[in-house]
Amino acid sequence: EDQVTQSPEALRLQEGESSSLNCSYTVSGLRGLFWYRQDPGKGPEFLFTLYSAGEEKEKERLKATLTKKESFLHITAPKPEDSATYLCAVQGSGGGADGLTFGKGTHLIIQP
């Protein structure tokens, strides 16, 4: 059974204060690890896909990295508009379902 654990559950930062969010996972045959952003009252918005250990992806102030057991979402010099819940999900090749297994998310607040 695929499992995803995200930490911390919540994080409050000052504007400009860089930090990292963690996603630990266990999966049978990784097909992809996905990062999403979710704003209140909205659906998850796709950010990145990572496929293999050592891979990195960047978009504006966000950078996602992947190892065989963890992924990190690094946020550099965040702004208040980066406040959201960040979700990590994996898709494995074991079992019949092709859906994603999600973590519970990290609720990020950036204070001006």
Question: What residues line the site for another protein (CB under 8 A)?
Answer: 4, 31-32, 34, 36, 41-46, 49, 51, 87, 89, 91, 96-105
Minimum CB separation from another protein for residue 95, in Å? 10
Between 15 and 58, CB nearer to another protein: 58
Which of 11, 3, 1 has its CA nearest to residue 86? 11
CB 13, min distance to another protein, A: 23
- Pick between residue 71 and residue 101 the one whose CB is nearest to another protein: 101
Q: Could you tell me the smallest distance in angstroms from the CB atom of residue 73 to another protein?
A: 15
Q: Which is nearer to another protein, 75 or 88 (CB)?
A: 88
